[in-house]
């Protein structure tokens, strides 16, 4: 981050500082999320160094824009948030566990938080193997200060993978409900729902909450509200996205 907080930063440099695309910054400027400065009405966008310093990193927004974009070219993500294969994911998951272990108050549940994130991330790799529509890999980011973990993929989604075992499934809402509540066949790739049922158990027994979206279905669960509640969303995702808060 530049030391001179009064300095104006061009948009491309600002995108590197925040770890988002230039296109994302343009959208944030237009919708008022992060206003840019223009020296002339039709000029290039610039940003105050201080604005970039205090602007919070919104991992869920980045992941959602990436997962819902028509093309990965329109919503790229920084390499530090992308796991191109399961070995990279597992290495970063271990690092997450080491970090959470040092957080006061999490000594009894940090391993469960890591397990839930691991199940969700590994589901993406296991059940999209050889079938990724456009890019192989997942979004995996976390903010320990905000106590949140975000995972996303541009895979087939829950409905398509569960239809191998339950051909009668018709909607994303129905598929997401089954994935988190019912044991299915233990044969790959039909066992996608079994890992998510384990995630459900972790969430409802501990001070953790989860938002999970697949297709046009959104599920929210927590220890305080353990009832499965699946709603329809306005913008369908190509794959899945999960927000774990603890």
Provide the pLDDT for residue 71: 87
Contact 158, 241 (CB under 8 A): no
Lowest mean pLDDT among 4-13, 22-31, 222-231: 4-13
Give the separation between CA 138 and CA 135, rounded to whole angstroms. 9
8 Å CB contact between 18 and 27 = no
pLDDT at 176 exceeding the cut of 90: yes
Tokens for 50? 């201080």
The whole-angstrom separation of Cα 20 and Cα 75 is 8
Report the largest interatomic distance among the alpha carbons of the chain, rounded to a whole angstrom.
62
Measured CA distances, 42 to 37, 39, 45, 190 (Å): 11, 8, 9, 54
Do residues 150 and 141 make contact, with C-beta atoms less than 8 angstroms apart?
Answer: yes
> Does residue 137 come out as left (phi exceeding 0), alpha (psi in the -120 to 50 range) or beta?
left
Cβ-contact 84, 95 below 8 angstroms: no
| pLDDT value for 5 | 47
- The pLDDT value given to residue 1: 36
Condensed to tens digits (0 to 9), the pLDDT of residues 189-234 reads 444 557 899 999 999 999 999 999 999 999 999 998 888 889 998 8
**Residue 91 phi, psi dihedral angles, 5° rounding:** -65, -45
| pLDDT at residue 3, as a whole number | 42
Task: Let me know: does 73 contact 64? Beta carbons within 8 Å.
Answer: no
What's the pLDDT band for 72 if we cut at 50, 70, 90?
Answer: confident
Helix (H) / strand (E) containing 26: helix 22-31
**How confident is the model over 147-155, as a mean pLDDT?**
96
Contacts of residue 74, Cβ cutoff 8 Å, sequence gap at least 6: 21, 23
Q: What is the pLDDT of residues 108-122, one digit of tens each?
A: 999 999 999 999 999
Read off the tokens for 173.
């809402």
Residue 79 confidence (pLDDT): 84
Q: Does the structure show a pLDDT above 50 at 2?
A: no
Q: Please give the angle made by the CA atoms of 37, 32 and 23, to the nearest 5 degrees.
A: 75
Residues 73-89: pLDDT tens digits? 877 887 889 999 999 99
- The CA distance from 83 to 67, in Å, is 14
Residue 22 host element (H or E): helix 22-31
- Could you give the residue ranges of the DSSP H alpha helices within the chain? 11-18, 22-31, 49-54, 59-68, 86-100, 110-127, 158-162, 172-181, 192-204
Domains, the chain, with CATH or none: 8-55 (1.10.1660.10), 78-245 (3.30.565)
Q: Percentage of residues in the chain with pLDDT exceeding 70?
A: 91
Answer whether residue 185 shows pLDDT above 90: no
Interatomic CA distance for residues 68 and 24, integer angstroms: 13
CA dihedral 59, 135, 125, 207 (to 10 degrees): 10
């Amino acid at each position: 981050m530049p030391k001179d907080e009064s300095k104006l930063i061009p948009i491309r440099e600002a995108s590197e500082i925040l770890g988002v695309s230039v296109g994302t910054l343009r959208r944030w400027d237009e919708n008022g999320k992060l206003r840019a400065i223009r020296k002339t009405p039709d000029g290039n966008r610039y940003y105050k160094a201080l604005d970039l310093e205090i602007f919070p990193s919104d991992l869920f927004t980045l992941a959602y824009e990436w997962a819902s974009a028509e093309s990965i070219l329109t919503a790229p993500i920084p390499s530090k948030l992308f796991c191109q294969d399961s070995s990279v994911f597992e290495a970063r998951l271990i690092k997450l566990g080491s970090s959470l272990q040092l957080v006061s108050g999490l000594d009894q549940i940090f391993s469960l938080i890591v397990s839930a994130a691991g199940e969700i991330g590994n589901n993406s790799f296991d059940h999209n193997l050889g079938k990724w529509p456009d890019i192989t890999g997942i979004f995996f980011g976390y903010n320990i200060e905000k106590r949140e973990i975000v995972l996303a993929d541009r895979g087939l989604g829950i409905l398509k993978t569960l239809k191998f075992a339950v051909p009668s499934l018709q909607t994303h809402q129905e598929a997401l409900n089954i994935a988190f509540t019912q044991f299915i066949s233990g044969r790959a790739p039909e066992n996608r729902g079994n890992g998510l049922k384990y995630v459900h158990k972790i969430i409802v027994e501990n001070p953790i909450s989860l938002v999970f979206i697949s297709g046009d279905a959104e599920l929210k669960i927590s220890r305080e509200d353990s009832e499965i509640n699946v709603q329809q969303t306005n913008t369908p995702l190509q794959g899945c996205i999960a927000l774990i808060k603890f």
